[in-house]
Amino acid sequence: MQKMWEASEQLEALAVREDVPRARAIPLCKTCSLAGFCGHD
């Protein structure tokens, strides 16, 4: 339960951010239908 609570707090923190956090590309990015919009191409 504690892990779920901590995960919900992380999601809440992400929800209030105005910017998109940086993320690394994963192999699935090449087949993703949103690849053209996310900046990893």
Domain boundaries defined on the chain: 2-38
Q: What size, in residues, is the chain?
A: 41
Query: 40 CB contacts (<8 Å, ≥6 apart)?
Result: 25, 29
| pLDDT of the residue at 10 | 94
Read out DSSP for 1-41? Answer: -HHHHHHHHHHHHHHH-SSPPP----GGGGG-TTHHHHS--
1-41 pLDDT, tens digit per residue, is: 999 999 999 999 999 999 888 888 777 777 888 877 876 65
| pLDDT of the residue at 40 | 60
| pLDDT of the residue at 21 | 84
